[in-house]
Amino acid sequence: MELKVFKFLSLLLLATPSLAGRLAKKPQMGWNSWNTFKYAVDEKLIKSTAMRLVDTGLARLGYDYVNIDDGWQTYQRDSNGHQQANATKFPNGIKAVADYVHSLGLKLGIYSDAGIYDCGFYPGSHGYEELDASLYAQWDVDYLKYDNCGGFQMNTLSAQERFLRMSYALKNSGREIFYSLCEWGHQFRWLWADQFSESYRMSGDIHSAYRADKSGVCTTAYCLNTGYAGVSDLTMIRKMRELSPFQKPGAWADMDMLEIGTGTMTEYQEQTHFSFWAALKSPLIIGADINNISDSSLAILKNKDIISISQDDLGRAANYLPELSEEGEYQIWAGPLSSGRSRHVILVQNYGSKAINVTLPLASVSGLEKRADRTGLVIRDVWASVDSGKLGETIELKNVEVDQVKVLVLKKR
């Protein structure tokens, strides 16, 4: 990028105090079509999923965005330059789907891309930002997931500039539309995306696997990778070691859609997945087919204690505690909470190969160093649904099984 353009953009970013924020005081919750259905999205699927969110009680718990991912469009814009919904998949158009979703008290999301094409070679929004944003507003869309596939063709135009253009277009569209960036692994977006979006993907795509990454996946936040990385659950959690301190209301690092209920994980593994997405303040967007989901996976997605950790008023993520963890064996993360009686959350997760006993010295946990910090606190073991006695100097955990996570919420008595 030329120096002059860069300076102009930097000034623009600094001069833009709050384009983001109001819609994302808490990490967003909902459902997205991509993980399970890929390009096979249609009106029937979106409507039945919206209805199912209501029927299962998920909607009441906060899962209120119904997000159509890639594949809703046609390959050509119309003669006025407008993106068009595929008439076979959406015979009544997107507005009719939005009306239905709204009639259930839910919100509708849509997908586009900051390049000439998106990942499926449908028309991206680059150069059409104003037109597309105003079309989404006319359709009463509430959420835009904005991808970066076409970004590879843009050469010198930086991601910051392309994503900022759509941010302005949305602000000028006349409708409040949640702006969710999907710019995966490049340009360290946690350093800039908070200026103009509500959430931003911090990695290449997740895939339905607890431990196994696809080849070429990098395991830290700062190594560059591509959009189709095939990141496992454990690796996504690993990448957040560098990023959890960046989490803040109004600009959530997005660990990608949940794979709970997609059929590859055990109950302990799904509990681990959900606990970390919640405690690290990632958006909670279900990626499974909720019309065909096991009772056990549904119960995990509906765990109220875990959802409360995600939606806590403070909006601070748990941080990794390397001094208390054992690399390759178990990981300990902790962070503050401030809703109701909850004050702290501690996660102890066994990702090794044998059951473990863990002694946790509370004086080593930030915010609990002094005895006075711990006075009057009691422990709730979330997945065991057990409230236990008051806090001492240490917490003793016996026999934490392989893949299991212990989520301990420390509460005021």
Instruction: List the catalytic residues.
Output: 147, 205
In whole angstroms, the minimum distance from the beta carbon of 91 to ligand GAL comes to 23
What's the rounded Cα separation, in Å, for the pair 205 and 284?
A: 15
Is residue 217 a contact partner of residue 270, using CB atoms and an 8 Å limit?
no
Q: Which of 205, 213, 233, 259 binds ligand GAL (CB under 6 A)?
A: 205
Instruction: Report in angstroms the alpha-carbon separations of 344 from 166, 179, 291, 316, 339.
Output: 38, 30, 35, 11, 10
For ligand GAL, which is the closer residue by CB, 120 or 352?
Answer: 120
Strands 143-147 and 107-113, sheet pairing:
parallel
Using alpha carbons only, give the angle 296, 262, 108 rounded to the nearest 5 degrees: 100
For ligand GAL, which is the closer residue by CB, 69 or 373?
Answer: 69
Q: Which of 42, 43, 64, 69 binds ligand GAL (CB under 6 A)?
A: 69
Residue nearest to ligand GAL (CB): 119
**Nearest residue to 302 via CA among 17, 10, 29:** 29
For ligand GAL, which is the closer residue by CB, 43 or 147?
Answer: 147
Residue 34 binding ligand GAL, by CB under 6 A: yes
For ligand GAL, which is the closer residue by CB, 207 or 406?
Answer: 207
For ligand GAL, which is the closer residue by CB, 205 or 312?
Answer: 205
In whole angstroms, the minimum distance from the beta carbon of 147 to ligand GAL comes to 5
In whole angstroms, the minimum distance from the beta carbon of 116 to ligand GAL comes to 15
Is the torsion defined by CA of 198, 149, 125, 88 positive or negative?
negative
Residue 122 binding ligand GAL, by CB under 6 A: no
Say how many residues touch ligand GAL, by CB under 6 A.
11
Please, is 150 exposed, middle or buried when counting C-beta atoms within 10 Å of its C-beta (0-12, 13-18, 19+)? Answer: buried
**Nearest residue to 140 via CA among 104, 85, 87, 102:** 102
Residue 182 binding ligand GAL, by CB under 6 A: yes
In whole angstroms, the minimum distance from the beta carbon of 32 to ligand GAL comes to 8
Residue 154 binding ligand GAL, by CB under 6 A: no
Residue 98 binding ligand GAL, by CB under 6 A: no
Q: Which of 13, 45, 47, 120 binds ligand GAL (CB under 6 A)?
A: 120
What's the rounded Cα separation, in Å, for the pair 382 and 345?
A: 10
Residue 70 binding ligand GAL, by CB under 6 A: yes
Residue 119 binding ligand GAL, by CB under 6 A: yes
Instruction: Report in angstroms the alpha-carbon separations of 2 from 68, 158, 166, 325, 392.
Output: 36, 10, 21, 45, 59
Kindly list the residues in this chain that would bind ligand GAL in the complex (CB under 6 A): 34, 69-70, 119-120, 147, 149, 182, 184, 205, 227
